[in-house]
């Protein structure tokens, strides 16, 4: 078993594992070259061969401990017919938005038929990885998917979805219920196709008041965790609510295996909150990859020193690596984690 999977399960490891959110991405020249030929980001996602190729690029270049499926968190709403597209420097957008109960009623949870490109990519990647590296599958959380579906893009203040949450919570609950079923089916099929662990990205749960977070974000992740644990008890699950440091004990209660944390909470404090219950993934500020190897070494050691146990830490950034990161700094990050991490 790989160190990545062992760390998730809090079993003995040979060394602290590391992977990096968006490790297959624009900071890599080979990624930019493949993307330039692909005709755009969505083509890259939707071609199993190209998705496989870019998934493997960081694994070839760096001494990483896991590969993550190259895809987008918003494939499900796209498969539901909303028409996902990207405008340079503006983030994701949808051609159609969810505006009212009629729109929600028309949504179906059975979208795996429109996502075969993802499962095919997983098959290809697993074949190429040849069991030398574990593969991570993922999805956006129901709440996070709903924010993009209702707002139509990367929102500033999330007023449309919040208005629905406050004025028509039953509409939003219906949408989130449908999304949680879709995410379950999607991750379930990713597992059947071969991924070795799954992660749910809750990019926008952290902007909610506590009770709203519990009711509209964590509640639906809980449903997914419960169903996945019933169907695939041995597949580790990581939940990541950005800016969710204040909810860690509640997240740990879901029976997920691991909690992703961003840099706004110290790992030491996170461990105090969740104890021995779950593994922790994180949490270097991605902005550190704009500095230099000496500074990165110092900051990596700081984080490693905060995690006192022998296993249960998966090193990562606190959010995705950014296009302006220097690949040499990524190299330094990985080397330092392996040099100074648990052994």
Site residues (CB under 8 A) for a copy of itself? Answer: 157-159, 162-163, 166-167, 206-211, 243, 245-246, 263-266, 269, 285-288, 290-292, 295, 299, 322, 324
Q: How far is CA 30 from CA 14, 33, 56, 167, 302, in A?
A: 30, 5, 11, 48, 31
22 catalytically annotated: yes
26 catalytically annotated: yes
Distance of CA 283 to the CA centre of its chain: 14
Q: How far apart are CA 311 and CA 333, in angstroms?
A: 19
Tokens linked to 229: 């644990």
102 catalytically annotated: no
Q: How far apart are CA 76 and CA 96, in angstroms?
A: 14
Catalytic residue among 4, 35, 65, 202: 35
Q: How far apart are CA 66 and CA 198, in angstroms?
A: 12
Nearest to 141 by CA among 265, 242, 289, 288: 242
- Within 8 A by CB and 6+ apart from 165, the residues are 172, 212, 216
Q: How far apart are CA 320 and CA 12, in angstroms?
A: 27
Nearer CB in complex with a copy of itself: 196/202: 202
With beta carbons less than 8 A apart as the criterion, state whether 301 and 267 touch.
no
Query: Helix, strand, coil proportions of the chain in percent (round to 5)?
Result: 55, 15, 35
Catalytic residue among 3, 72, 78, 262: 72
Tokens linked to 268: 């030491």
Q: How far is CA 195 from CA 73, 80, 94, 141, 190, in A?
A: 16, 23, 28, 18, 6
Residues forming a β-bridge with 238: 199, 258
Residue where the block lists tokens 């004025």: 167
Q: Which residues are catalytic?
A: 22, 26, 35, 72, 148
């Amino acid at each position: 078993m790989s160190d990545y999977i062992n760390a998730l399960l809090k079993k003995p490891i040979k060394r602290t594992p590391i992977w990096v959110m968006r490790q297959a991405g624009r900071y890599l020249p080979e990624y930019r070259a493949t993307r330039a030929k692909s005709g755009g980001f969505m083509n890259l996602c939707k071609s199993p061969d190209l998705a496989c190729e870019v998934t493997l690029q960081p694994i070839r270049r760096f001494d990483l401990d896991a590969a993550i499926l190259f895809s987008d968190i918003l494939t499900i709403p796209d498969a539901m017919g909303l028409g996902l597209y990207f405008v340079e420097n503006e983030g994701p957008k949808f051609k159609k938005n969810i505006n009212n109960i009629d729109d929600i009623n028309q949504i179906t949870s059975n979208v795996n038929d429109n996502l075969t490109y993802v499962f095919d990519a997983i098959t290809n990647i697993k074949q190429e990885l040849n069991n030398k590296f574990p593969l991570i599958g993922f999805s956006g959380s129901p709440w996070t998917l709903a924010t993009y579906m209702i707002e139509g893009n990367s929102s500033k203040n999330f007023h449309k979805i919040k208005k629905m949450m406050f004025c028509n919570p039953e509409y939003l609950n219906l949408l989130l219920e449908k999304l949680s079923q879709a995410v379950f089916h999607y991750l379930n099929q990713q597992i059947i196709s071969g991924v070795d662990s799954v992660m749910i990205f809750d990019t926008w749960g952290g902007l909610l008041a506590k009770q709203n977070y519990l009711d509209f974000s964590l509640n639906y992740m809980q449903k997914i965790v419960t169903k996945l644990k019933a169907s695939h008890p041995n597949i580790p699950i990581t939940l990541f609510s950005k800016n969710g440091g204040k909810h860690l004990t509640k997240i740990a209660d879901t029976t997920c295996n691991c909690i992703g944390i961003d840099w706004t909470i110290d790992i030491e404090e996170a461990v105090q909150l969740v104890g021995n219950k779950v593994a922790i993934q994180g949490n270097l500020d991605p902005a550190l990859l704009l500095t230099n190897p000496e500074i990165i070494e110092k900051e990596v050691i700081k984080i490693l020193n905060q995690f006192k146990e022998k296993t249960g830490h998966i090193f990562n950034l606190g959010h995705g690596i950014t296009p302006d990161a220097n690949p040499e700094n990524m190299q330094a990050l990985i080397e330092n984690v392996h040099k100074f991490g648990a052994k």
